[in-house]
Structure formats: C-alpha cells, structure tokens
Amino acid sequence: MTMDKANLLSSDAGGGLTAHRGHARRTPQERPLVFASTASRSSRPGEPAPERDVRLRPASAPAFGKHEDMNTTYEIRAIEPEVLDQLRDRDDAGNPPRLLVDEEGGSPLRCCLRPIRPGEKVALVSYAPLRRWAAATDAEPGPYDEVGPVFIHPQPCQGPEKKGFPNALAGPRRVLRAYAPDGRILGGRLVEPDPSGQTRPAETTLTELFTDPQVALVHIRAVEFGCFLFEARRPG
C-alpha cells in the first residue's frame, strides 16, 4: 500500500471502515431522564411519598418512543445514480474525485453497498448525505449538515445486487442516527455485534427506530471515524 493510501484508509476487524486521518465524530449521547413529581408539594408526615414520573425531554429535544401501531417499513438507500454522476465530476466539497486502486479491498462502496474487492478501481469523494436528502424534501438541516469521505465506483455501476439491509456492511459496531422530517437530529443508537452471529442487531435497531413517528431518516455510520455508510428512509 502506498503512503498516500495509508493516510486515507483505516480498516476495522469486521470488513473495513472507510475513513481518513481526520477527526473522529462523537457518537450522539443518550438524552438524560427528567424526573417530575406527580404531586405539587411534598408529602405530610405519615403519608406515602408522592410517586415520581419518569419522562424524557419535551418536543424541543425529542426522543424515541415505541408505537406498536406505527408502520415500521423503511427503504434502504444507496447513493442515487444521478447523484453519483455529479460526484464523479465534482464532489460535495467542490473537488474532483481521487481515483485509486484498492489492492487490499474491504472498505464499503456506497454505490453498491458491498465491500470493495481487492484490486478494484474506486473513487474517493466527499459526500453530504443530509444535505442531499434535504434538497429533495425541503428540509433544513442547518448545523446538522456534514460532509465526509466515501468510496464509489468511478464509472456507472449496477448498484446494490438486492434490496433490503446490506448485511455485508453491518460491521462489528455501528452508530444509527435518526433525523426528523425538518432535518433535526433526534438521537442515536450505538449497536454492538452479536458474538454468536445468530441475530442482526443493526437491522433490529433500525426497525425499532422507525416505530417512532418523528423519525423520517436514519443514517448508518461507522463508529471509529463516523463515516456515512448508507441511509434508510420511510417509503414515499
């Protein structure tokens, strides 16, 4: 591997994480619980103490809630073909793509949602997933907009081989970030792998997130570097 590529790539133990030697993004923290008493005053001597109602923060900082009657269907999205064509010319940072041959392979392709094969030609580009989604939905992500490195094919390709959750990119550890229809971040979940391999924690967590009616979009990201892998949206 060349020194230039070594500065661009870092692989984890589970098939590769695309990253550069930049700043690792922090995982969104769990929202603290707010304890509110159901009584307006403390109890008198000899009376039982008032019950405490455990609540999450109000709508100004929404949290996830599970609604059994909600439609939890979602669509997994790779980067759209027309967006890929634009990125192959100029990426979302205004730069031309960086072309290379990945001799080792393993890092995720965001056009096909599979790992790069050893010796495969790829393009490294900057991509702003939330900005692209917002442009198509009239959302305004504002400060939540971010740009990061992703690998794509340098020429048009067939895209993902099948629909549904790309288990080849499930990885050992993932962060799932949920967003509201207006582009605000709602929160995140850190997903650890199942050592037995009998369950799919990332896919299960994604389904759980979409039981919240506030969730319109979920980004699936690598943990160590925070790189975007793919997204899930409500259909429609």
* Predicted structure pTM score: 0.70
Q: Does residue 113 contact residue 77 with C-beta atoms inside 8 Å?
A: no
Sign of the alpha-carbon torsion through 59, 63, 69, 74: positive
Instruction: Measure Cα distances from 63 to 4, 142, 176, 181 in Å.
Output: 42, 20, 14, 14
Q: Is 109 left (phi over 0), alpha (psi -120 to 50) or beta?
A: beta
Chain centroid to Cα 202, Å, comes to: 11
Phi, psi dihedrals of residue 82, rounded to the nearest 5°: -70, -35
Give pLDDT tens digits along the chain (236 positions). 433 443 444 333 333 433 333 333 333 333 332 323 333 334 444 544 443 332 223 333 333 333 233 446 899 999 999 999 999 999 999 999 999 999 999 999 999 999 999 999 999 999 999 999 999 999 999 999 999 999 999 999 999 999 899 988 987 899 999 999 999 999 999 999 888 878 899 999 999 999 999 999 999 999 988 899 999 999 87
Q: Does residue 151 contact residue 140 with C-beta atoms inside 8 Å?
A: no
Phi, psi dihedrals of residue 150, rounded to the nearest 5°: -140, 155
Domain edges within the chain: 3-20+67-233
